[in-house]
Structure 1
Amino acid sequence: MPSRDLSEHAAVRAYHQRSKHRFEGYAAGPETLDWDAQPAPFRHFEGAPAIRLPLLADVPAGNALHQALQRPFVTLDAAGAMVLPADLYGIGALLQLSLGVTAWKSLGPDRWAVRANPSSGNLHPTEAYLLVAGIEGLENGLYHYRPEDHVLELRARHAVEASTPRLAITLTSVIWREAWKYGERAFRYCQLDIGHAVGTLRYAAAVLGWRLQEQAQVGSATLARLAGVDRLEEFPAQRLPDTEREEAEILLAVGFSGAAPAPLAVTELRTLAQAARWYGVASCIDRHPLYRWPIIAEIAAATRREDAPVVSCKPPPLPSPAQPRAQIGAIAVAELLSNRRSAQRFDRSHSMSLACFAALLARLRPTHNLPWDVFDDSPRLALVLFVNRVEGLTPGLYLLPRTDALLTRLKPRLAKHLLFEPVPGVEGLLRLTEMEPVALRRISRSLHCHQDIAANACFALGMLAEFDETLQRQGPAAYRGLHREAGLIGQVLYLEAEAHGLRGTGIGCFFDDPVHELLGLQGDAWQSLYHFTVGLPVPDPRIESAPAYARRDTPEPTGGRHP
């Protein structure tokens, strides 16, 4: 292994250890927060031409798109979906259902936006850029999506000819939005957010009958050039350059025929970027940052990928897709995607039915269909569950390995005294140990940074990644990929919980090594990267809600505290 790769591997491992929370102390973060000086949650480009996208509310009743939006969520991955045209209405629906604002919330003088894609602390580091060619109503070029008013900003014109519609989506991270609150652990959270955003885009694409596929052959430098985020003179900083920079993360190609899109050629993307005519200067994210976190720039550099050939390989065998869930009702897909929320509190007396629990876990087992088909990588995460209140199940620890291969590799690493008993009625679930309810709640609360939401949920879970072997086999860039897989799992949990009348909450704050010790895990072979809770939410009656785009012509606030 070249010395550069060795140093990058060392940087990944050093960062992961350094950014862990421990009982004796949390990962380094700011000592104080001034919510009135929060980084701007929305970015725009001054001087870039703007194109208003149609809203879902603008879709004429009865047409094909309107019918697709009313389709039951539970049938979204069934065969025979109508393929809708690549036009402004389709692109508007894709973005509003995946990255758009879904409501404005207020509590006293504070006002904040809720979006379709969840984010750690509702800080939303993810920005989206569209690579467009051959779509009526849009010039060929690169567009930045502005979710606060559902607008595309033309960042670059491309002098290309396209006989058929082409669309690709680049996601970037304004890492400072997360680092402002979470300090050194922020890079992890940005990668989880990318996984969530990829998930929202994949589900929204399915509504339209479109496919979405990661373009892993495109390296970080090429992607940064294509998105224009390496044009640092157009991202001016008032004080610290890191506050304004965007990290190029991932490129997703859209297939309009219902089949996977053809791979994008790296050389053609480079040519587009070099010949582009650019517009606009980025708005400021933070004029007065108080802290610096140099290790974030180091881990970002260590985990960037190089351009690579397109690798055509047969995917590993996976189970057939789960059947539609008629028992959970026929809520319309647009309604469910738009109403997804993160629970703030759970009803500690509510118990899930075993049928609901089994149906939800079945959706977490990867297949070659929605949404797992967006990534080419084999599944690398197994789930350990803290089951508090599921009818018919004894409280305790359970394991959902997700695939037989993961179970084969994980089981020898876990403590020998664990039971590994199959659970009747829940395919693939193994009971590890039974616990007294009070003891389980105490452990759940303690391991999740002493948060009641973990103890009061029907169940919590941790996502165990095959860490060391994945990094050795795929290189340091796989560190991002592991977190993105975790974020995608979290997005499935969010939507499936909503479909069952429940609610989920992603938890990035947990004590890493104590989780491993509970399971008997040693070393870096397996690491817990993300946790999640599901239960019956208890709404806060003090919080008021307003429609997302009721006043699109009126500029919305660009800051403000959120609970």
Structure 2
Amino acid sequence: MKSINYHIQTKHFPNKFAKSLGYLDWETQPSPYKSYYKAKKIPLIPSNPPKLSYEKLYTTNTPSPINLKTISQFFEYSLSINAIKEYFTSRWAVRVNPSSGNLHPEESYIIFENSVFHFNVKEFCLEEIAKSENKLVENGIIFIATSIPLRESWKYGERALRYCLLDTGHIIAATRFSANLLGWKMEYVSEYKESELQKLIGLQKASFYKNEDEIFEGTFYIYNDKKPKINFKEFEKLEFNLEYKKLAKDSIRWDIIFDIAKVLKREEPFQSNFIKEKITFNPSPFNAFEIIDKRRSALGFKEKFIKKDEFLDILDKTLPRNIPPFDTKVTLNKVNLVIFVNRVDGIESGIYFFDREKNSLSLIEKGDFSETAKFVNCAQDLGKDSAFSISMTIDKKHLNKEYKYKLAMFEAGMIGQILYIEAEAKGYRGCGIGCFFDNLVSIDILENEDILTLYGFSIGEPVIDERIIPIRPNEAKLLNL
């Protein structure tokens, strides 16, 4: 299969990394902000949300009306800028949702009532790129996620598509948590072909600057009681305003990314399966919105232990139950975890395998494997110094359709977002790791060449980054970012 061949071709090895430029050309770095400059801009307003308890991220909440005020809160606590970092004369934005290298390849759109909007993250506003005389959608919102691979390939070369898909997984989980706190349901639109769904934002008509192609990732219903109805005939009449400011001065095109993206389109219905496992919660000193707002990627870890019940509670939240975020019904629920336990009180250090479908944690080999965890993750101390680190894996047999590779990567990104949230809820910090030596996990540890390694993650006591300065999402446009 082309998708599996792509994953194999873009593996990192200790003596050979996946193809890339091998250096960073700062003059050609793409902008992380897209703006349809001729579109009508509708400002969003930061909210003062209620102090909902931590477990409300996962449980049912009172439904809120869907209007501009609540849409503002939805974006504020899923995709907005909420801090800046300063280092000497440099300054850059930090968002609520994580991204590999802080490059943020994603773009997001919503369809609400008569209009199609692009979310402009820097200006914290909606840009109306199309408007109809009649309703385009009834009973809720349509949310669409896309990626611009150039933002990732500038640094990561042909491996960039992996990062785009993982980041989309983070977005799916982040938006699901935010929607749930508003009492909204959110569900993958799987009954229509993606070749048809991409027309909802005019992607098939869009004209891009060289190498700046935007690829379609997924569409989601967001609603209260009644699933939204899409009036497809109205979209045929729309004129889209899709002129935007060029993102980069110059760039190199990695054709493999776009060739594979084309085959990943889902053109058949899809349905997730879930396990029936009751969820329990350890208390958190932070409320749900605080946890989302304070989420950061750890720059490094202190070599400190965490408690056994905290470790097990974190793993419990990754189980594929029919609750947020997996109730979006976009996941295969076949991703499992290889765990390097470095410092967990009450659990022997060693390498473990966590079967999420069976909710089973088994020991592969006991001993101090912290140096192995470091080496697996491209010799980064994030693996060694953390309380534990994870390698997310899947058996190739579950990827019997090309589009399922995309859904597997979404699932890994969603698990990553849960791990970020759970780490923050317990006073720790997490870090997603996209650079790892794939075969050290699949072949050297699991001894199975049919296993693909999808994503890495570490959790522990963080070294605090003093450069973070919190801001409100509508303040970013006033800064030179």
Q: TM-score, normalised by structure 2?
A: 0.95
- Check 1:365–1:552 CA distance in 2 against 1; reply closer, same or farther (3 A cut): closer
Q: Could you tell me which residue of structure 1 aligns to residue 71 of structure 2? A: 91
Aligned-partner residue type, residue 280 of structure 2: Q
Cα deviation code 1:421-458 (max 9, x no counterpart): xxxxxx732122101x2xx1221111110101111010
- Give 1:36 shift: 4.5
Q: For residue 370 of structure 1, what is the amino acid of its counterpart? A: P
Indicate the residue corresponding to 1:75 in structure 2. 56
Answer whether contact 1:388 1:396 (CA < 8 A) is retained.
yes
CA distance in 2 between counterparts of 1:298 and 1:49 reads: 34
Which position in structure 1 is the counterpart of 2:277?
Answer: 320
Structure 1 counterpart of 2:300, one-letter code? R
Moved more, 118-127 or 377-386: 377-386
Please give the per-residue CA displacement for 1:5-64, whole angstroms capped at 9, x wherever unaligned.
Answer: xxxx2x2232111100012200001122123432101000021000001112xx4xxxxx
Question: Structure 2: which amino acid aligns with 1:252?
Answer: F
Alignment of 1:389 with 2:343, yes or no, is yes
- Which SS does the other structure have where 2:370 is aligned? helix
- Decide whether the 8 Å contact of 1:104 with 1:548 is kept in 2: no
| 1:333 and 2:288 correspond | yes
The unaligned stretches of length 5 or more in structure 2 are: none
Q: Are 2:275 and 2:322, in contact at CA under 8 Å, matched by a contact in 1?
A: yes
The answer for the alignment partner of 1:547 in structure 2 is 471
Give the letter for the 1:446 counterpart.
Answer: F
The match for 1:433 is 365
Give the corresponding residue for 2:223.
Answer: 255
AA at the equivalent of 1:557: N
Q: Within 5 Å, give how 1:20-99 maps onto structure 2.
A: 20-56=11-47, 59=48, 66-67=49-50, 70-79=51-60, 81-99=61-79
Moved more, 147-156 or 161-170: 161-170
The answer to whether the 8 Å contact 1:321/1:369 transfers is: no
Aligned equivalents of 2:136 and 2:154: distance in 1?
42
The answer for the alignment partner of 1:355 in structure 2 is 309
Would you say 1:461 and 2:371 are equivalent positions?
A: no
Aligned length: 481
SS in 1 for 2:459: strand
| Equivalent residue runs for 1:225-264 within 5 Å | 225-233=199-207, 235=208, 237=209, 241-242=210-211, 244-257=212-225, 262=227
The answer on 1:380 being equivalent to 2:348 is no
Report deviation, 1:339. 1.1
- 3-state SS in 2 of match to 1:131: strand
Q: In structure 2, what is the Cα distance between the partners aligned to 1:14 and 1:553?
A: 42
Alignment CA distance shift 1:553-1:21 (3 Å): closer
What is the CA–CA distance in structure 2 between the aligned matches of 1:359 and 1:517, rounded to whole Å?
29
**Runs ≥4 in structure 1, deviation > 3 angstroms?**
161-165, 548-553
CA–CA separation in structure 2 for the residues paired with 1:123 and 1:551: 20
Q: How many angstroms apart in 1 are the aligned matches of 2:364 and 2:274? A: 26
CA contact 2:77–2:289 (8 Å) conserved in 1: yes
Does structure 2 conserve the Cα–Cα contact (< 8 Å) formed by 1:50 and 1:152? yes
Matches within 5 A, 1:474-485: 475-485=401-411
Q: CA deviation at 1:465?
A: 1.0
Looking at CA atoms only, which structure, 1 or 2, has the larger radius of gyration? 1
1:358 is matched by which residue type in structure 2?
A: L
| 2-structure distance, mates of 1:397, 1:549 | 41
2:398 to 470, 481, 484: 470
Q: Give, in whole Å, the separation in 2 of the partners of 1:201 and 1:171.
A: 10
CA distance in 2, matches of 1:100, 1:280: 22
Instruction: Provide the alpha-carbon RMSD of the alignment.
Output: 1.9
The CA distance in 2 between the partners of 1:492 and 1:213, in whole Å, is 18
Q: Confirm or deny: 8 A CA contact 1:215 1:263 kept in the other structure.
A: no
- Secondary structure, aligned partner of 1:477: helix
Using the TM superposition, give the Cα deviation of residue 378 of structure 1 relative to its aligned residue in structure 2, in angstroms: 4.2
Match of 1:511 in 2: 437
Amino acid corresponding to residue 221 of structure 2 in structure 1: A
SS at match of 1:51: strand
Taking only the aligned residue pairs, the percentage that are identical comes to 30
3-state DSSP of counterpart to 2:39: coil
Counterpart of 2:239 in structure 1 is 277
Amino acid at match of 2:66: A
Say whether residues 1:344 and 2:292 are aligned partners.
no
Report the alpha carbon displacement of residue 317 of structure 1 after superposing the two structures with TM.
Answer: 5.4
- Whether the 8 Å contact between 2:139 and 2:229 is mirrored in structure 1 is no
- The amino acid of 1:26's aligned partner reads F
- C-alpha spacing 1:515/1:40, structure 2 compared with 1 (3 Å): same
Cα 1:277/1:163, change in 2 over 3 Å = closer
CA distance in 2, matches of 1:334, 1:294: 41
* 1:356 maps to amino acid: E
Distance 1:163 1:396 in 2: 52
Q: Distance in 2 between matches of 1:318 and 1:512?
A: 28
Q: Give the whole-Å Cα distance in 1 for the aligned partners of 2:445 and 2:228.
A: 41
In the superposition, relative to structure 1, how do residues 362 and 273 fare at CA in structure 2: closer, same or farther (>3 Å)? same
